[in-house]
């Protein structure tokens, strides 16, 4: 069954069909949310909320790319989460335990311990650098440089003009570059700027 | 500053602003060539370009994190969603209905206002009625209904009297008795009971009696005279106490075609329970001639107004209810 047929079935209320779409896109959605929010629990909440909203709003889906459509919902959920975080700037206890708890999920038994350590270092530095960006620039940098979307797709997902995408990406990348150059010693040797 | 250095600064700024788009291949061919030419000569821009490329490469290599929990929806969501859709539909219908009813209400109000202010005059056989006329028409309709009710009472009393007389003759009753018996009822119209009943029926026409009646709608003679003819006891037998009643009975239109002799009949009516007059049974008042279309439209607009206001309230309540259910 192709994606259009699955979407059509889901639009009729078939929750199993919709779950097939969830399984196909949940990791992508979670990674976008995680890079934007910088917190695994909040990212998981935002992802769950996005797919729930998507199911309820599936009647409004008028064709096109389902991936772009669901990512638009994810970015909106991220904005909501960021608003909540601004209102209640507390550090959940889960954040303190996150690394230990989540490290097992990041384990890949096929890689060497050195590679694993390097990957974790890179992950940490990238996330710290992203957290220094303003929210609008962060979302554009995540969609462009981490997820590899084109300018047009990003404009669709974020509902802004192409010019805005270009300027946000230009400023965001410049800030990322400045941060990574300034903290090059924290980066793995193989990827230092 | 030399011309060549000015050009160089301009090109440097142009390139610096577009390095990002150049890196992504999002520049036009002309701009891309211009940036490429500057990059070949500017060391600073070359360095920036190299760092930007490295940054993008590093970000592309950032690891994918596995999702800590599945986001699949439980099967129970299907029924919940069906319920949600039902309420969504109900909400949409209510909302649409409210908009439609509100529009109709505005339209009816406009029609009503237009007729009241005389902005709209529908073509008719006779000259179109003015706003003032419509006010008079409304009052007249009330007055005519009251007159008809009074006429009906009189007719029934006359019938009852005739029957009583016939019964009395048949049973050989003494001549003086009916007169004595009828004396009390004759005075009764002056008493509070009936007078109040009549005056309460005539209350809407009080204003009409005070204002000059339109000559084109009222029959021969003044309304006061017409009523006095129809109900002589009420107006002549007791001058002091019955004056307000006579005024109250001063109706704009009197359609009594009964001769004066029959009008005296109520005085002879026996003291029996007053037969109930079915007001609803009174024939509907026909609108004045030549105003048919305008009258009908105006009356319909007024009726519609009431119905629409009620409907609007019902829909508003339904909208609130459906909205709450939808959110739940």
Inter-chain touch A102–B78, beta carbons under 8 Å: no
Residue with the two structure tokens 């629409």: B308
pLDDT, averaged across chain B: 66
Secondary structure class of B38 (helix, strand, coil): helix
Number of Cβ within 10 Å of residue A125's Cβ equals: 20
CA B62 to chain centre: 67
Mean pLDDT over B265-289 rounds to 49
Cα dihedral A32, A36, A42, A44, rounded to 10, equals 0
Inter-chain touch A59–B85, beta carbons under 8 Å: yes
Among candidates B67, B75, B84 on the partner chain, residue whose Cβ is nearest the Cβ of A30: B67
Q: DSSP state, B227?
A: H
Share of chain A above pLDDT 90, in %: 63
CA distance B231 to B236: 9
Residue B141: the pLDDT is: 52
CA B50 to chain centre: 75
Question: Closest approach of chain B CAs to the CA of A108, in angstroms?
Answer: 11
Q: Is B220 exposed, middle or buried (0-12, 13-18, 19+ CB in 10 A)?
A: exposed
**Chain B residues with beta carbon closer than 8 angstroms to that of A16:** 75
Whether residue B220 has pLDDT greater than 60: no
Q: DSSP state, B233?
A: I
Parse chain A into domains and list their residue ranges: 1-94, 107-188
Most confidently modeled range among B18-22, B170-174, B234-238: B18-22
Lowest-confidence region among A148-152, A172-176, B237-241, B289-293: B237-241
Question: Which candidate, B163, B154, B124, B126, places its Cα nearest to that of B266?
Answer: B154
CA distance A44 to A37: 10
First to last CA, chain A: 46
Q: How many residues does chain A have?
A: 193
Whether residue B186 has pLDDT greater than 50: no
Residue A139: the pLDDT is: 96
Q: Is A10 exposed, middle or buried (0-12, 13-18, 19+ CB in 10 A)?
A: buried
Among candidates B54, B66, B77 on the partner chain, residue whose Cβ is nearest the Cβ of A15: B77
Domain A1-94 has CATH 1.10.1740.10: yes
Whether residue B6 has pLDDT greater than 50: yes
Among candidates B61, B64, B84 on the partner chain, residue whose Cβ is nearest the Cβ of A56: B84
Inter-chain touch A180–B24, beta carbons under 8 Å: no
CATH domain A107-188 topology? Arc Repressor Mutant, subunit A (1.10.10)
Q: B229-269, pLDDT tens digit by residue?
A: 444 444 444 444 444 444 444 444 444 444 444 444 444 44
Inter-chain touch A193–B56, beta carbons under 8 Å: no
Q: DSSP state, B280?
A: G
Residue A28: the pLDDT is: 95
Question: Which ipTM score applies to this complex?
Answer: 0.85
Residue B161: the pLDDT is: 75
SS (H, E, C) chain A: CCHHHHHHHHHCCCHHHHHHHHHHHHHHHHHHHHHHHCCHHHHHHHHHHHHHHHHHCHHHCCCCCHHHHHHHHHHHHHHHHHHHHHHCCCCCHHHHHHHHHHHHHHCCCCCCHHHHHHHHHHHHHHHHHHHCCCHHHHHHHHHHHHCCCCHHHHHHHHCCCHHHHHHHHHHHHHHHHHHHHHCHHHCCHHHCC
Residue A133: the pLDDT is: 95
Residue B175: the pLDDT is: 45
CA B237 to chain centre: 47
Interface residue A123 vs chain B (CB under 8 A): yes
Residue A77: the pLDDT is: 95
Question: Which candidate, B173, B145, B158, places its Cα nearest to that of B278?
Answer: B145
Q: What are the DSSP calls for B208-223, one per residue?
A: HHHSPPPTTTS-SS-H
Task: Tokens for B253, please give them.
Answer: 């239109």
Task: Tokens for B267, please give them.
Answer: 């005085």
Q: A159-172, pLDDT tens digit by residue?
A: 999 999 999 999 99
């Amino acid at each position: 069954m192709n994606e259009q047929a699955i979407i059509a079935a889901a639009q009729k209320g078939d929750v199993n069909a919709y779950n097939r779409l969830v399984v196909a896109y949940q990791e992508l959605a979670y990674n976008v949310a995680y890079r934007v929010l910088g917190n695994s629990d909040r990212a998981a909440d935002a992802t769950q909320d996005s797919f729930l909203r998507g199911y309820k709003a599936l009647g409004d889906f008028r064709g096109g790319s389902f991936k772009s459509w669901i990512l638009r919902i994810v970015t909106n959920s991220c904005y909501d989460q960021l608003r909540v975080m601004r209102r209640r700037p507390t550090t959940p206890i889960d954040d303190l335990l996150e690394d230990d708890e989540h490290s097992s999920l990041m384990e890949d038994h096929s890689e060497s311990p050195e590679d694993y350590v390097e990957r974790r270092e890179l992950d940490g530095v990238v996330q710290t650098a992203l957290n220094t960006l303003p929210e609008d620039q962060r979302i554009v940098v995540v969609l462009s440089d981490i997820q590899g979307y084109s300018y047009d797709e990003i404009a669709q997902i974020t509902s802004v003009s192409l010019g805005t995408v270009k300027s946000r990406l230009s400023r965001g990348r410049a800030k990322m570059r400045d941060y990574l150059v300034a903290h090059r010693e924290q980066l793995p040797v193989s990827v230092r700027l | 500053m030399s011309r060549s250095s000015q050009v160089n600064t301009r090109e440097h700024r142009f390139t610096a602003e577009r390095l990002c788009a150049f890196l992504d291949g999002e520049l036009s061919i002309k701009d891309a060539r211009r940036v490429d030419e500057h990059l070949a000569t500017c060391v600073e821009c070359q360095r920036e370009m190299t760092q930007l490329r490295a940054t993008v490469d590093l970000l592309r290599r950032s690891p994918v994190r596995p999702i800590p929990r599945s986001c699949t929806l439980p099967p129970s969501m299907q029924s919940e969603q069906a319920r949600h859709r039902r309420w969504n539909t109900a909400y949409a219908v209510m909302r649409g209905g409210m908009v439609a009813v509100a529009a109709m209400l505005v339209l009816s109000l406009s029609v009503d206002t237009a007729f009241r202010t005389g902005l709209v005059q529908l073509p008719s056989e006779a000259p179109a009625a003015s706003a003032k006329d419509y006010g008079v028409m409304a009052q007249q309709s009330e007055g005519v209904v009251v007159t008809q009710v009074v006429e009906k009472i009189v007719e029934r009393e006359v019938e009852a009297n005739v029957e009583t007389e016939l019964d009395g003759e048949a049973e050989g009753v003494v001549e003086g008795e009916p007169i004595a018996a009828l004396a009390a009822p004759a005075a009764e119209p002056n008493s509070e009971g009936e007078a109040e009943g009549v005056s309460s029926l005539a209350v809407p026409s009080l204003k009409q009696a005070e204002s000059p009646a339109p000559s084109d709608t009222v029959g021969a003679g003044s309304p006061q005279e017409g009523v006095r003819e129809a109900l002589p006891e009420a107006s002549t037998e007791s001058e002091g106490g019955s004056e307000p009643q006579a005024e109250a009975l001063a109706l704009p239109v009197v359609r009594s075609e009964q001769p004066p002799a029959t009008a005296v009949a109520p005085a002879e009516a026996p003291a029996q329970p007053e037969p109930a007059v079915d007001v609803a049974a009174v024939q509907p008042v026909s609108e004045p001639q030549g105003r048919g279309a305008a009258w009908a439209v105006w009356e319909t607009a007024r009726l519609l107004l009431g119905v629409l206001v009620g409907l609007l309230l019902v829909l508003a309540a339904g909208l609130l209810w459906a909205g709450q259910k939808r959110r739940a």
